[in-house]
Structures are given as C-alpha cells and as structure tokens.
Structure 1
Amino acid sequence: MPVRLYGLVVLVLLLTAGCVSPGTPSARQGSAAPTTSRAPAPLKVARPWRPGDPQLGAQVLWYTYPGETDASVRTNALRLVNYMVARHMNALSVTFPFATAGPTASRVAASADTPSVRHLAMLLDTAAAAGLRITVRPLLDEKNLVAQNPLAWRGSLAPTDRAAWFRSYEAFLAPYLTLAARHHASTFVLGVELTSLEDDPHWRALIAAARGAFPGELSYDANWDDYVSRRVPVPVEHLGVDAYFPLTALGDDATVAQIAEGWERWLDRKSSGKLPRIVLSEVGIIAEKGAYRNPAVWKGGGQPDLTVQKRWFEAACRVARDRDMAGLYWWNLDFHADPAAPAHSPTSFLGRPAESALTSCFRTWPR
C-alpha cells in the first residue's frame, strides 16, 4: 500500500478520531443486528460475477467517524454501489482499519476509526442486492506506527510477543469472519502487507480458525516488492498484489505502452506469461507530475497532472488483461465520497480522466 494519508477527505474525518487502547475489547465488534427499515433497491449488475470471471472492482475505503448513523450508512452504501454498477464493476472490496499501539506491540484491536459490524453488514447487503461479488479486507492503520518511528509501516512490525500478537489478531478477526459468512462475502483477506510476519508459523492456526468460521475463499494481499522478490509463504488459497511498481526511468510524458512495458518487466521478475490466480488488489496513483517514479507516495502537494493518473490506469488494465489476471481493484473509493460532487483531491480518480479509463477498462474486459 502506498505511503499515504488516505486522501484529503479522509484526513478531515480523522482529525477527531483516536485509537482505542489495543488492549481494550471494543464494543464495535458486536454481532451484526438485523435492520428493520428498507433502503431503496440498488442498480443491478448486468452480468454478476461467476467462477472463472475476472473480479472487476474497487476498494471501498471506510474510516468511520463519530455520529455516523444507520441512515447515513445506507445512503452512502447505495450511492457507491450504484456508482460502481454504472461503471461496469462486478466486485466490491471493503477495506477498513484496525490498530496497534506501535511497531513492537503484541496486541491489535478495533479503533475509533473502525466501522461497526452492523454498519459493515449494511454495505455488504447493499452490494449483494446489486449482484456485486464481495471481499472483506481489514487493514492495519499506520498512524500509531509512524508516530513512534517515521520509517515504520505495517510491513515492518516486530511484536515483542508474536504468539500474543497472533492470538490478538485472531480474536479481532473473529466477528468480521462471521460477518463475511452471514452477509454474502466470497473472499476474506486475512492480511495486507504484513511482510515481516509472513514467515511466522502462527499463520497456520489463525487460518484454521478462519476456515472454521468462513466457508469462502481466504486470501492475502502482498506488497508489490515482496511479491516479486520471493514466494509469499502465507498458506491461503489466493494471493493479491498491491501494485505500486516504481518506474524510475519514465517521465511524465510516458505513453501507455511504455508504462505497461515497465509493469511487465516487474512482473517478469516473478513469472512470465499468464497469471490467472493473481488479483491486482490495489491499483492507484496520485494525479501529479513525477508519480511514475514512486507511485507508492501519496502525500500530495506536487504539480497536478491528470494525464499521469489516466495513463497509469490504462496501462494497468492492459497488463492485467494480457496476463489473464483473476481481477483488478482500483484504489480507492472513500465510503463517504459523493461521486456526483467529488472533492478536489489529487489522490482521487472521481470526476477525472482516470475515471473514464477505469470505466472503459471494465466495459471492454472479456468475460
């Protein structure tokens, strides 16, 4: 995942949100209660996903905020699902945060930023009603890590007690695995970019517990450099790649063909030819000059360039299709964003040329 602050809109939402103590059980992990009022029916996917089809979607990034209500959640869910269906998507992955106290902490927990299980269920039910394939994807937030060490990230965790860390992580995941099982999810991502922990033998017990709670596909999303440099050892059924391949030799005027060639060179370090079991779990880039050289940096403040973002999207689509990949998810759709009135953030593709590129990609992708 890029070094980013999740966009200007999310930053505003986070200013008043603090992390609960990772050692404190969170009431946010309660069971999803049935809802009584009915939301309007969403648009329907023209061709719902079937086994063997590519997963064509976006990561819906959801940092909750105090005072979020059932009504606002239903409104946002319906708005985003309708937006995705109108852009020929057949899949939705919801990414939401959890927290740890620091790089060496041995516990994780939900935080004030974590959506409740009840509210997540509303989004999943809306997506299922539209015919979208659903993935549930918890993501370790990096705020507390960076506060202690500016170079720390979720891929460099060094818990003092690894066994305790995995026990805590298993306990945190439990209600979300139940949520996924009860609310139509096809895939649960058990970890994202946890590079320093991937070799740990405790994964086997955690995965066994997950299989007992969730009958669908279990997945893991590796960082791009980790993916190309070795065999990712987490023993799950499918692997996703957060794809931020740096193309240091390319200038802002690079063509789509040149960008695609750069992606191909990176992928060839791992394997040439078709990649039918690999999902591009995150594809995104900031709409600024110089972004090709380090697409994982999302700080903003540079010189805007919407063409840079558009060409990156077009190249990623070309590569994923040529390699017969299992799917592609654009990064990201803020759960609270209004696509009809997008915020002017360099990290967003809403209302920009990249939006038409992603729509064309999915509209023309063979299925």
Structure 2
Amino acid sequence: MRKRFYGRVVLYGHVVPVRLYGLVVLVLLLTAGCVSTNAQPVTPAPTSRTPAPAKVARPWRPGDPQLGAQVLWYAYPGETDASVRTNALRLVNHMVGKHMNALSVTFPFVTAGPTASRVTASAETPSVRHLAMLLDTAAAAGLRITVRPLLDEKSLVAQDPLAWRGSLAPTDRTAWFRSYEAFLRPYLTLAARHHANTFVLGVELTSLEDDQHWRTLIAAARRLFRGELSYDANWDDYVSRHVPVPVEHLGVDAYFPLPGLGDDATVAQIAAGWERWLDRKSTGKLPRIVLSEVGIIAEKGAYRHPAVWKGGGQPDFTVQKRWFEAACQVARDRDMAGLYWWNLDFHADPATPSDSLTSFVGRPAESALTSCFRTWPR
C-alpha cells in the first residue's frame, strides 16, 4: 500500500520522487517476474481479517417486531481495536443464535450533579471509533441497530441518595440542552454513517420532558440523522401521563412492580399484573410502543420491586424466567413494536454464565427469551 503526497511517493519505506516512481515500479515488477506479454492480475497475499459474523435468518423489515437486547457498554481502560472487534463479533454471533433481529447499544455519559448545567462524555464512554466497529459488525449480521446514550447516575447519587436521572434540575436549562446537543452530535453522525435505524434522544429524563428545548434538540438531530428518533420513558412516567417529548416512537423501560405476587406466581398472573399497569394508559394494541428495557434480578421477592437490583437476596432463577415469559406474552398480545432484554454486557463472554444474579446469560431466562423470539409471529 502506498501514500501519495506533495509530489512524492512512500514506497516500501523509501520516499521516491513522482517523476521516478513509474520507472521504479517497472523495475520492481520486472525483477519479480510479474510483467510479461501474457501477464495475469497479481493476487494479493492473504491478510488476517476479523471473521464475518453469523447472519440473521430473517433480517428486520419495516413492520416487523424489533426482537433484541440492550448491549450495555462501559468502556474499559486499554481497550484496543482488536479487543473491540473480538467482543463485537462474539456478542453479535450470540445474539443471532438467540433468534434476535435487533441490537441496541446503551453507553454512558455524565453530569457533575443534579443541578449541573452541562453533560459530557467520561472515561467510560466508548469512543465513536469503537462504537462504529460494533455497529458495522451488527449491520453485517443483518441486525437492526439502535444507538442509545444513557445518563450515568453515580455522580447524582453521590450528592443525593434519592437523586436519579429522572430528577435532574439544571440551574440553566438552556445551557444543559446546548451541552447535551453538543455531546450527542458525534454519536448522531456515527448513527447516520454506520447503519443505525433508530437514535434514542433521551432515556428516563422525566423532570425535563416538558421542556420546550426538545424541539430545538430534535431539529438539530434531524440535520445529522435521517433515521427514526425515539425517547425511552420510565415505566411510571409512561402510565401516569402523556410523555410530551415530540419524537416518532416511544420506548418504555418496563419495571412494573407487582407487590401482590409471591415467588410462586404463574406466568399468567404476572402477565395479568403487567396488563393492569398498561391499562392505566390505554387498552388494546400498542403497535407504536417498544419495551426498551425488560429485566429483573434472579432473586426471591423481585416481583415486588423489579427496578431494584442491589443483590444480596436469595437466588431464584425461576422468578427471572417467568418474568421474561410474561413480558413476551404481553408484548405479543399487545402487538408491540418490539422488546429489548436488559442487558448484555459488551465485555462479557455470553458463553459463560455470569456470577451476577442481574444477568440472564446462561440461565433459564435466556432459554425463555430465545423461545419468545423464535416463535414470535412476523
């Protein structure tokens, strides 16, 4: 491979003037025996490349349900191109094997505190370059792609144990949204250039949803990304009111508490509890709603507080499995636009069950999600 610049050529590590370049190449080719009156094209020597991913049996098409998982990516120090490509290939192959047709990548950004008026990337935010590698691998497999930045809550909780991303109160909202737009800009460009179908402009930002700055932010996003713009609301926010963020589709992070159910509850009972929650908003089909997060810790008592993942309780993998089965049943019965399980760690080997009870990998819940997607009508 050569680089051409300012009248010179770098050839095998040596700088050669352009006027001599043709002669040098001819001499080299003749010396190698590559030029003759019957010359054939020279076949390049094989190079090592990342293997191609497995292919989705039936790629997503408009009107199909989005059947996938949230890939949670907190960057590690020292991540390399090679490690990112390896992890991306391993993860995408696993998802294809579980009958998924969609991938949503969730990654963090930060703010200094609940009243701060600025957001930024952090050391744990994956680089645009590395995210592009995952998106390209997913696209090569035929997976539908969503890009989903998520405000990390560690700095909020450090100042107020009750604070969370849904209770932000920036001192200067104009500055906050201006900062947020600047942060999103390279990721919107990434989404536009690397096959993304959807960009989630916000996740669980309940206290800011009524702000008029969303319209300016959406207009700016439209100039960079022509795909679908979405917003993911928290479960209680969704059922209690109209979510006013003016995007095309709405996702719901679905952690509906069912305090009346014991650990021996049936799938039908859990599904009925979900239906009662959804009926608070509307009955019947919900073809424009995506369940953007569905997950639960594999512990006894988890039905009472599925959004609490502190751990330390008594393990119960059946609790997790039945929750997944019920969520699948409800999403299918309501004709929802899709469902994303929470979550797959970008760095974890999905062939090895995690020690954490928050994971579904290698557990009965994973067989439930596989069956859900394999049998979902399309």
On the 8 A contact 2:56/2:142 being kept in 1, the answer is yes
Structure 1 residues without counterparts, runs of 5 or longer:
26-32
Distance 2:60 2:119 in 1: 34
Distance 2:42 2:159 in 1: 18
Identity of aligned residues (%): 91
Q: Displacement of 1:38 after TM fit?
A: 3.4
SS of residue paired to 1:145: helix
Q: Displacement of 1:199 after TM fit?
A: 0.1
Q: Please report the TM-score for the alignment, with normalisation by the length of structure 2.
A: 0.87
The superposition leaves residues 253-284 of structure 1 with CA deviations (integer Å, 9 ceiling, x where unpaired) of: 00000000000000000000000000000000
How many residues are paired up? 359
On the 8 A contact 1:178/1:214 being kept in 2, the answer is yes
On the 8 A contact 2:29/2:35 being kept in 1, the answer is no
The superposition leaves residues 287-334 of structure 1 with CA deviations (integer Å, 9 ceiling, x where unpaired) of: 000000000000100000000000000000000000000000000000
| Closer/same/farther in 2, CA of residues 15 and 197 from structure 1, 3 Å limit | farther
SS of residue paired to 2:32: coil
| Closer/same/farther in 2, CA of residues 280 and 75 from structure 1, 3 Å limit | same
Higher relative contact order, structure no. (Cα contacts within 8 Å, ≥ 6 residues apart) = 1
Distance 1:355 1:313 in 2: 9
Distance 2:281 2:236 in 1: 10
Distance 2:31 2:51 in 1: 31
The superposition leaves residues 67-89 of structure 1 with CA deviations (integer Å, 9 ceiling, x where unpaired) of: 01101100100000000000000
The answer to whether residue 115 in structure 2 is matched with residue 96 in structure 1 is no
Q: Please report the TM-score for the alignment, with normalisation by the length of structure 1.
A: 0.90
| Closer/same/farther in 2, CA of residues 71 and 336 from structure 1, 3 Å limit | same
| Closer/same/farther in 2, CA of residues 140 and 11 from structure 1, 3 Å limit | farther
2:142 pairs, out of 131, 143, 154, with 131
| Closer/same/farther in 2, CA of residues 318 and 60 from structure 1, 3 Å limit | same
Distance 1:304 1:201 in 2: 45
Q: Displacement of 1:342 after TM fit?
A: 2.2
| Closer/same/farther in 2, CA of residues 108 and 341 from structure 1, 3 Å limit | same
Q: Which residue number in structure 2 is paired with residue 234 of structure 1?
A: 245
| Closer/same/farther in 2, CA of residues 160 and 181 from structure 1, 3 Å limit | same
| Closer/same/farther in 2, CA of residues 20 and 61 from structure 1, 3 Å limit | farther
| Closer/same/farther in 2, CA of residues 165 and 277 from structure 1, 3 Å limit | same
1:109 pairs, out of 89, 105, 120, with 120
The superposition leaves residues 225-280 of structure 1 with CA deviations (integer Å, 9 ceiling, x where unpaired) of: 00000000000000000000000100000000000000000000000000000000
On the 8 A contact 2:70/2:343 being kept in 1, the answer is yes
On the 8 A contact 2:353/2:363 being kept in 1, the answer is no
Distance 1:286 1:6 in 2: 66
On the 8 A contact 1:2/1:244 being kept in 2, the answer is no
| Closer/same/farther in 2, CA of residues 187 and 23 from structure 1, 3 Å limit | farther
| Closer/same/farther in 2, CA of residues 320 and 130 from structure 1, 3 Å limit | same
